[in-house]
Amino acid sequence: MFDGFELTTIDTSRGNIRLRRGGEGPPVLLLHGHPRTHMTWGKVADLMSPSFTVICPDLPGFGGSYVPPDTADSRHSSKREKAAVLVELMQRLGHDTFSVVGHDRGSSSAFRMAMDHPGAMRKLALVDCLPIIEHLERADWKFARDWYHWFFFAQPEKPERVISADPLGWYDKLSSDFMGAEAYDDLLEAIHNPSIVHGMVEDYRAGIRIDHIHDRQDREAGRRLRCPTLCLWSKRDDLQQIYGDPLAIWRTWADDVRGFGIDSGHHVAEENPSDLAAAILAFLRN
């Protein structure tokens, strides 16, 4: 994976960002989900790199990137803060405009980038994602049953204690079968680091404390996504089962949105990288 890519760390005004960069062509930023690192994108990045310059960072609070400082409202872990630092990162790499692909928690940061920095966005692809306010306002007993970790992670201190007491007990479905040995080892290092565990949990606290407020402010002001948007979801995950048609929801936030489901479980970049890459490439090329 990441054939011909450079592994490097870039200094930003908020802290260091670890990333891999490779390929040729228009720039595309790939943002991972929880509890992954940038390594989840390896197979997809290789399929995209002949046509695009691909940048895969660890999100702030994850992997080898800086852990945001704590505040009572978790604002430094908010998607607004992460979006701002990722735009700064791309500018430091020489890219004032670019496309963004996000999965899971990375999609939330990607969505916020497109809302807050529309001038930087060429195209936006969101995988297994809705705006955080849509998740919370539509939450029912099925959401509470299957996505209970959203509310557990919102609690102070206890989530970190539980996870760090037995990281592989908490993340009991991790396997190198799909992600590969190097990505698996990278992830093991992350989940055994209490500081990174805290950073990942704070990403969820920010969702409950402040991110939904930013979403509501956008909705009340009538702000919408201005760039072409692709919405993808994993057919063997439960986004569609819980919420119905994700496209119908995204059409209330974007004028130019299209999308479909992919035959995969939740970690689609690892489980079905060929179909995911094909969908992204077709969208970016048109």
The pLDDT tens digits for 216-264 are: 999 999 999 999 999 999 999 989 989 999 999 999 999 999 999 999 9
How many other β-carbons are positioned within 10 Å of the β-carbon of residue 54?
26
Q: Could you give the CA distance from residue 155 to residue 201 in angstroms, rounded to a whole number?
A: 9
Active site residue 266: yes
- Which one-letter DSSP state was computed for residue 30? E
164 falls within a domain: yes
Q: Give the CATH number, domain containing residue 122.
A: 3.40.50.1820
Q: What tokens were used for 103? A: 């999965």
Number of domains in the chain: 1
pLDDT at 286 over 90: no
Res 199: pLDDT: 98
Give tens-digit pLDDT for 18-66: 999 999 999 999 999 999 999 999 999 999 999 999 999 999 999 999 9
1 falls within a domain: no
- From 236, 239, 241, 234, select the one nearest 276 (Cα to Cα): 234
- From 123, 116, 120, 119, select the one nearest 99 (Cα to Cα): 123
User: Taking the model in full, what pTM does it have?
Assistant: 0.97
The active-site residue, picked from 104, 128, 211, 218, is: 104
217 falls within a domain: yes
Res 94: pLDDT: 97
Give tens-digit pLDDT for 80-90: 999 999 999 99
Contacts 24+ apart (CB under 8 A), 168-173: 171/35
69 falls within a domain: yes
179 falls within a domain: yes
Res 25: pLDDT: 97
For residue 260, the enclosing domain spans 6-285
How far out from the chain centre does Cα 203 lie?
Answer: 11
Q: Could you give the CA distance from residue 230 to residue 247 in angstroms, rounded to a whole number?
A: 9
Per the prediction, the chain carries an average pLDDT of 96
The active-site residue, picked from 34, 76, 266, 267, is: 266
Give tens-digit pLDDT for 132-180: 999 999 999 988 999 999 999 999 999 999 999 999 999 999 989 889 9
CA distances from 194 to 107, 127, 191, 197, 206 (A): 24, 28, 7, 5, 18
Active site residue 104: yes
The alpha carbons of the chain give a radius of gyration, in whole angstroms, of: 17
Q: What tokens were used for 36? A: 């992954």
